[in-house]
Structure 1
Amino acid sequence: MEKRNATSDFILLGFFNHTRLHRFLFTVVLAVATASVVGNALMLLLIARDRRLHTPMYFLLSQLSLMDVMLVSTTVPKMAADYLTGRKSISRTGCGSQIFFFLTLAGGESFLLAAMSYDRYVAICHPLRYLVLMSWRLCLQVTAGSWILGAADGLLQAAVTLSFPFCRSREINHFFCEAPELMRLACARSSVFEYAMYICCVLMLLVPFSLILISYSLILAAVLHMRSTEACKKALATCSSHLAVVGLFYGAAMFVYMRPRSSRSASHDKAVSAFYTIFTPMLNPLIYSLRNSEVKGALERWFAISVTPKCQHT
């Protein structure tokens, strides 16, 4: 019996049932996820096509959009397929893949946001030395480092989590495989690993967040010493977009991963997880496009180029 259970699939209980309200909420979530993918894909396309956006700042932004597209694609298609077909099972390999990609992308985004804060610090506090302090070489190094650190965390946690025997109920009270939820089903002592996993999550969040706080403290000090009101407003407008993204991402992630287990609720965790894996990726391109004149200019130029030939042909 134990051998059979060890090889059987897990069951994802999901986020929705088949009431009228939940069908409406499912439609909303699916629409938001679609908008997220389209918005971030458009951001990637704009940055790739417009040479004026070929700077370290927008390269980092393109990596953020890429991570967001992949993050939504890691969780939403499986959730939607389970809801529409009623088949909620997921194999150990599928579960491990979700854990790996989710942690790779979430961890990578955490470090990438820290790199973006450093970029803003250099641009505002040392504009004349920007190309030296934020060179393309450094930009590529911090980007690669973000991906590698996220992947290392994802691989380690996925491998160790799936190494435990699961002999209890195989129902995961979530809409995707998440390591803490999966560990609740383990029938071996897992307190040491769960503590190590908690410490790892705290470090993956607090270290980049601390670097962001330091960067923006230095930026604020520099802005307060600016004599030009126009320059001050421009600096604050440039940073406000990034701060909004940071607040959304870290606020939700800290709520899920930095609370003690005794105070955690599965329903609350699912709702917050849905927020920062589905809704936040949709908001990122909106925040950066609506508050960024260069992105809006690139969009207008691309639209003009796309529409003009058609009008001339007509």
Structure 2
Amino acid sequence: MDVQLHQLEYLVAVVDDGGFTRAAERLRVAQPGVSAQVRKLERELGHELVDRAGQRVRPTAVGAEVVAAARAALAAVAGVRQVVADLDGLLRGTARVGMVTSGPFLDVPGVLADFAAAHPGVTCSLVEASSGRLTAMLREGRLDVALVGAAGGVPDDLVTDPVTEESLVVAVPPDDPLAGARTVVPGDLDGRDVVAPVEGNALREAFDLACAPVAVRVTCSASDPAVLARLAARGLGVAVLPASLSALRSEDLVTVPLDAPDVRARLVLARPRGSVSPAAAAVTDALLAAR
């Protein structure tokens, strides 16, 4: 018996799509070729496998059993191919990544570039947006993994892994009234000019949450905390920085903790629950390793 793998593929497609024309369109082959190969398979097996009488092609009783066996055979072949690809260190497919502007905490573009160079069979894409937008895209199945801010808490409908979690400090010149304080409360910034991270940044989300009742004026913004510090040193406003820079001391700048104990600048790697493609899983592993 000479049964070809592509004949089984064509038969399954015809049954799934309910017709030869639709199956041919999906398979991107000529419709007469699909019909001829299914006919050849029927002659080889000695049974009609599909009922062509109605508007929608349906499997015969024998055809239904053959289709079930064909599905198993096609799945087994796909599994063999994946095993060989894994053993060869090859990945194929797509990996869709999102990120908030995160400063120096995780170099997502660098990780993605290195991954793409090591796995040329994977098509990688990167979207930069706010945490809310990225979270929505994860839930809609439009992203595989994203670096998002979680100042207000970690979304419980997504799988998340922590990247960083910090409290906030403010930076001012030594002659500023806040320079000698042990801590600064959000009310101390009422009416003050502030140089803050760009909107969508995890640190900015935390700052906005802490200072929601306060009328601060954001006069400048940047994604790099070092740039914010330089702007504050030049007198453009009070800089909002992560606590990892709390040891910053110079003749130009003094840092003071921002007293907002319930607010933390959190960054997490988030992804949908459930199974993911091997390419998406590999990109996620690379991002987790780079934390």
TM-score by length of 2: 0.23
**Which entry has the higher C-alpha Rg, 1 or 2?**
2
**More strand by proportion, 1 or 2?**
2
**More helix by proportion, 1 or 2?**
1
